[in-house]
Amino acid sequence: MDTHSNDNTRSKASGNALSNQLLAALGPESRSRIDPHLQPVTLKLGAVVCEAGGLLKHAYFPQGSVLSLLTVLENGSAIETANIGREGAFGLFAAMYSRASFNRCIVQLEGRMVRCPIELLQLEFKNSEHVRNLFVSYSETLLSQVQQTVACNTVHTTEERMCRWLLMMHDRAEGELLTYTHEFLAHILGANWKSVTLAAQSVQAAGLISYYRGTIQVLNRPGLEKASCECYAIVKDRFDEFLKPPETAVQDTEKRQSRN
């Protein structure tokens, strides 16, 4: 590709950067240094962005796609512990500390995404207090999702977990149809194919979703929220707050606790 084409591609990626909340929250000076280096990435559903233990050269910022973080066990089985949409990024731990990925990262929902060289983000993290606060706040929020997911996978039923996951995907897909097979859902939820099939049939029988030949459409959003465990709302509230200044987030948390 010639230099002019490269410049056009980077310019388009930079123009779309605001569709990622984390990139949009960077200060003007950081954006001026980062934007020229953003590169659009197109990957298919299920594509591996990075294997567990792999070295990262880039951080990935979804702009409509969703990335899934999978914990991989010795026998090769894997289960989702978190997912990342346009609110965040994959690779920030590498930008802050090491360059190794703790998880396998795959594409869970196809869509737009840009990537940025790790070295550039490391420099911003080192030199900007705002970037440090932003990256640490997001990383703590992502960790809270991991912890909530671990509890959810241990305590809640396959049907409750499926409803939680569908709500999260429905948020990120902005109401579009979801295309997933039972096998893919079983892999993501860490459940066997039969239990996932029964759960999908139950949710469909209740009129909450339509599921036909691997295509899922949410028909009753309030009903799906009611059928889900509390984990969906807890994680959503935390992500809604992570871009706020720490003092505001603490005050909001104290207010909620006082109402309970």
Render pLDDT for 208-260 as a digit per residue (tens, 0 to 9): 999 888 888 999 999 999 999 999 999 999 888 888 755 544 445 455 555 55
Burial of 202 (C-beta count, 10 Å sphere; 0-12/13-18/19+): middle
pLDDT-flagged residues of the chain (< 70): 1-18, 175, 245-260
What are the strands of the beta sheet with 66-72, ordered from one edge? 48-50, 104-109, 66-72, 78-84
Q: How many CB atoms lie within 10 A of CB 85?
A: 22
pTM of this structure: 0.82
User: What CA–CA distances, in Å, run from 200 to 50, 74, 153, 211?
Assistant: 30, 29, 17, 8
